[in-house]
Amino acid sequence: MRSLPLPLALTARLTPVVVLACAGWALSSGPEPSAPAAQGKEADRTGTQSASAPSSTTVPKTYTAAPAPCDSLGQKTITSLVPGAKTAGKEITSTDKSVRRTCSWNALKGYDYRWLDVSFEISDSDDKALKQYEARVREKSGGGAVPGTGDAAYSVVNLTTEDDQKTREATVIVRASNALVVVTYNGSDFESKEAPSSDEMNKGAIKAAKEAAAALEGGG
């Protein structure tokens, strides 16, 4: 058998070594790049789970829905504040009754006219209700605090005149946790063109607001 030239013989001897060396390098170095990838996938899964997990700091709402406003006042209160009115009242149409509900009573007895509204407004949080309360108070400046009602309460009385007819309106705003109770009570005397006294309207509105706030608490 003829001998191979030295370079070819050397190449023939080294080729299996090179192949084995390459295979060994691939086996020894292969798993290492996959480890960070696996760790990355594990981190992704952990991050996804953390992002989707519910927050432990979420505060449940005290009131989740507005109560039936027409049931918030007693019959004696309605007949005393709105003489001649049907005690059942009339609920005003609302786009979302879980957020806002209003009931209205009105009547003309002789020449005396009275109108009473009771509204319940539910916010997503106490903070939002507080901001709404403060904004309403700023809009109707000139009134004063009503102690012992809700977390905070405010009343104000205004007199308006249209075509020589005077109308006096009292508004009471109550905040209780994430809810607002708003009472509007107004009246006119169509014979004298005058309006009821500020004291009468203010006391009537406060009475209705206290009862409505108690109904909210009872139904919450």
DSSP string, 53-107: SPPTTPPPPS--S---GGGSS-HHHHHHHSTT--TT-EEEP-S-TTTEEEEEEEE
Distance, CA of 31 to CA of 103 (rounded, Å): 73
CB neighbour burial string for 140-171, b if at least 16 within 10 angstroms, e if fewer: eeebeebeebbebbbbbbeeeeeeeebbbbbb
Say how many residues make up the chain: 220
Q: Which of 187, 121, 135, 129 is nearest to 157 (CA)?
A: 187
Q: Which of 214, 213, 217 is nearest to 119 (CA)?
A: 213
The β-bridge partners of 92 are: 102
Quick one: pLDDT at residue 32?
Answer: 47
Neighbours of 130 (CB within 10 A): 17
Distance, CA of 143 to CA of 81 (rounded, Å): 21
Alpha carbon of 146 to those of 8, 40, 200: distances in Å? 107, 60, 15
CB 104 within 8 A of CB 82: no
Quick one: pLDDT at residue 97?
Answer: 83
Q: What is the dihedral of CA 93, 116, 166, 162, to 10 degrees?
A: 0
Quick one: pLDDT at residue 59?
Answer: 67
Class of domain 69-219: mainly beta
Taking the alpha carbons at both ends of the chain, their separation in whole angstroms is: 105
- pLDDT means per 10 residues, the chain with 220 residues, are 44 42 43 47 45 54 93 97 96 88 97 97 96 96 95 98 97 98 98 97 98 88
3-class DSSP assignment, residue 23: helix
Sorted by where each begins, the domain ranges of the chain are: 6-52, 69-219
